[in-house]
Structure 1
Amino acid sequence: MTANHVPGEARQVSEAWRQLAARPNPTEAFALELVAQLPEPARRWLTHAIPTGTPLSSSVQLTMRGEIRLGVWRRFSARQILAPGIGYIWAATAWVAGLPVRGFDRFTTGTGEMRWRMLGLFPVVTAVGADVARSAAGRLASEIVLAPIGFRTAVWTAGRSADHVIGTWQVDGEAESAELCIGPRGEVQSVSLWRWGNPGGAPFGRYPFGCTVHSEQEYAGLTLPATFTAGWWWGTGRQGEGEFFRARITAVVLG
């Protein structure tokens, strides 16, 4: 996996992928003084996740595999480029009735889009527009836990308890906030937010969304979530109904 290699599923947005990969990196490396003024849970998380001296890259690339619920649970493999506070492209192949469904979700330059085809020929999902972009911006906020080196793209404030912290980003003029629950060692335990969407065909609006982290691992020098589940209605009695994503990170490259 290299920064310049665009996965085949994202060929239609290859230029956007390269632009995310080519963002200039800050010249600083991680140091304790950079987090000294942050709320304590944020300091605990970041000093656990990022070794002192780590270059603060502008983006990360991840490979993952898992299951996604498309009616029933389907296995998938994916690559993602993620630039915190800026955008992402998630390119994947899922398997439906033994046939490949390939495509991407993205948020780049203010545009949200989902485009998926079976066998590369038959459209399965095509979605774009303001509602898709607002939902994608919420996802971008929540995925800071996969790229903690981008912590300075957010404003951090105290959360609901001593183990919670809230990151807030201004994305295309709209505030997007995600609340992280941080464990005693600094590990991310969960992420929750009110994300724009229409789960289950509901009218578009903001609904509970979240992610539970089940394990962590060291990748490229960073300690990151390794296995996690995500979905709508997180933290409510409908969480099981809303769960649609189960993943394991298999590799990470900085920059």
Structure 2
Amino acid sequence: MLGHMPHAAADLTTAAPGSARRVADVWTDLATDTTTPADFSVDMVSGLPEPVARWLLRSIDVGAALRTSVIVTMSGQIRIGAWRAFEARQIIAARRGYIWAAVARFGPLPVRGFDRYSDGSGEMRWRLGRLIPVVTATGDDVSRSAAGRLASELILTPAAALSPGVNWTAVDGDSAMAAVEVDGTIHDVTIHVAASGTLDSIELLRWGDPDQTGFGLHRFSAVCTGELRSDGFGVPAHTRAGWGDLEAFIDFDTERTVFL
């Protein structure tokens, strides 16, 4: 069975990258193997809204182990004042947590650090040139925003769409809404699916302060194109995301995925 064959994790370390050294123990915990005895079969999408079934039948190979954690390697541009090149690696454990560890360039100096959500709390820690703190953020608002982000990362762990903590409702022939439970709070994430089964976009109301006027619920969306496949799963190859009607703040290519 495909679900019991060696997979790409065999040749990629699951250790935390240097920019997330402070939370290496959390990274290790999130990187726990999630392989279950169950393998994906067509009957598992029975009863789901048609757009969800179409997405999952495209995104998960029949016979693939239902892994719900993934390490994602990506690169692109992030808007911090101006657009700046970045490289990142992210561990996502569906509905449990994530760490996004990245390095961006500010002229000759790197800004490195991480965003984290785990055990119900969020955190952001970034430094210029390893020494000068530029962002240090924790607290209820950060945690609530990070939980919404984790809910939206469902698109990078397709098998999690079948979990008991995710309930689906049809919107129309190409869209469906997932009620994703994260640490006791429900986040409504709407996916839009192409006729081919690949994702076109997602959106949700996410807690944040994108316009610097105070925290609240704001529309957050991502446009997805292409497909990258590994370990029996397909995920968007390119993503551009942002808040409301504001200009997107991140644009990246997914270079590699390793499902755990």
CA-to-partner distance for each residue in 1:47-93, whole Å, 9 max, x for gaps? 00000000111311010000000000000000000111111100000
Moved over 4 A (4+): none
The residue aligned with 1:80 is 90
Displacement after TM superposition at 1:179 (Å):
0.2
The residue aligned with 1:249 is 254
CA contact (8 A) 2:15 2:27 kept: no
What is the correspondence of 1:1-40 to structure 2 with a 5 Å cutoff? 2-40=12-50
The residue aligned with 1:116 is 126
The answer as to 2:201 corresponding to 1:190 is: yes
Tell me, in whole angstroms, the C-alpha distance in 2 between the residues paired with 1:160 and 1:169: 16
Superposed CA RMSD:
1.4
CA contact (8 A) 2:114 2:124 kept: yes
CA contact (8 A) 1:38 1:156 kept: no
| Unpaired runs of at least 5, structure 1 | none
More displaced stretch, 75-84 vs 157-166: 157-166
Displacement after TM superposition at 1:2 (Å):
3.0
The residue aligned with 2:190 is 179
More displaced stretch, 32-41 vs 47-56: 32-41
The residue aligned with 2:159 is 149
Displacement after TM superposition at 1:43 (Å):
0.4
1:34 to 1:209, Cα distance in 2 relative to 1, 3 A: same
The residue type paired with residue 207 of structure 1 is H
The residue type paired with residue 24 of structure 2 is S
The answer as to 2:237 corresponding to 1:226 is: yes
CA-to-partner distance for each residue in 1:170-191, whole Å, 9 max, x for gaps? 2222111110000101110000
CA contact (8 A) 1:39 1:156 kept: no
CA contact (8 A) 1:215 1:228 kept: no
TM-score by length of 1: 0.94
Displacement after TM superposition at 1:202 (Å):
2.0
Tell me, in whole angstroms, the C-alpha distance in 2 between the residues paired with 1:167 and 1:53: 24
Displacement after TM superposition at 1:242 (Å):
3.4
The residue aligned with 1:63 is 73
Tell me, in whole angstroms, the C-alpha distance in 1 between the residues paired with 2:46 and 2:125: 42
| Unpaired runs of at least 5, structure 2 | 1-10
The residue aligned with 2:51 is 41
The residue type paired with residue 121 of structure 1 is L
Displacement after TM superposition at 1:158 (Å):
2.7
CA contact (8 A) 1:190 1:211 kept: yes
Total equivalences in the alignment: 249
The residue aligned with 1:168 is 179
CA contact (8 A) 1:26 1:58 kept: no
